[in-house]
Structure 1
Amino acid sequence: MARLLIVHHTPSPHCQAMFEAVLSGATDPEIEGVQVVRRAALSVTATDFLDADGYLLGSPVNLGYISGALKHAFDGSYYQILDSTRARPFGMYLHGNEGAEGAVTAVDRITAGLEWTKAAEYVIASNRPTKDDLEACWELGATVAAGLMG
């Protein structure tokens, strides 16, 4: 069975709503043969990354950058997963009240170094996520999970 790892930092109700929509899409009953594992960014381990076949990353945008928690997740695992996770698919959702360009650039650089494959367009929401934002999160979760089906 394929495994999808959702690594998230969810400190606010807006991030929580986006996380729940992503999770709902990833666990849609029509997606078979994919186990979805959730880990808070501050508790995820290199083994969690190594055991997964694909990834969904979720973070608030703090001062134009990914959360320290998501950065910590990569800092604590990067070299242990570098050679073993190449070409694995990933997606990302971000929530911020200002520009997210720095956060996008950071994740693009990290995932380029890991040689991961972007499986779907990022979802970026500002302020309170709209119905369209939450639908895009659902689609993101479903798309990345469905891509892991046999």
Structure 2
Amino acid sequence: MKTLLVLWSSQTGNTLQLAKAAAAAAMQESSVTVRIMPALQAGVDELLGCDALLLATPENFGYMAGALKDFFDRTYYPAQGKVAGLPYAILISAGNDGLGAQQAIERIARGYCWRQAYPPLLVRGVPQPADLAAAAELGATLAAALSIGML
């Protein structure tokens, strides 16, 4: 069975809403285990134990949340060389344009030698029903691709 790890950080609840929508849709794929957890609680074991990763973060001051950066700081060296090629996707809840957070995450992902599975989902402002549907579609797509071996 494949595992999709959904990491999130949220202060207002917007990012968590989106992450939960993605995870719930991914859970519909019976051959994929979905683990959703706060970035501050995830560590190298969770990273090494997943087959794909969905990184959900708010945009804080034009950057990713500190909790997600902390996850990267704690796991980079212990996971170095062990997660090359790991497929990932990004979900950003932005008050501005989200591009600073996106670029920072993509830069760090290149350091891990991960591969971006799908384009980032940038949600500006309070998530609307269409945004939650887009997050669900991203989660479902990741899970389906894992299930059939596309990722």
TM-score with structure 2 setting the length: 0.93
Q: Mapping of 1:1-150 within 5 angstroms?
A: 1-28=1-28, 31-150=29-148
CA distance in structure 2 between the partners assigned to 1:135 and 1:82 by the alignment: 34
Gaps of at least 5 residues in structure 1 are none
Name the Cα RMSD after superposition: 1.1
Aligned structure 1 segments of 4 or more residues deviating by more than 3 angstroms: none
Equivalent residue pairs, number: 148
Using the aligned pairs only, state the percent identity.
Answer: 31
How many angstroms does 1:79 deviate by? 1.1
Q: For 1:116 and 1:106, how far apart are their aligned partners in 2?
A: 14
Q: Take 1:61 and 1:149, find their aligned partners in 2: how far apart are those partners?
A: 30
Q: For residue 54 of structure 2, give the secondary structure of its aligned residue in structure 1.
A: strand
Q: Using the alignment, how far apart are the partners of 2:100 and 2:111 within structure 1?
A: 17
Matched position secondary structure for 1:12? coil
For residue 78 of structure 2, what is the amino acid of its counterpart? Q
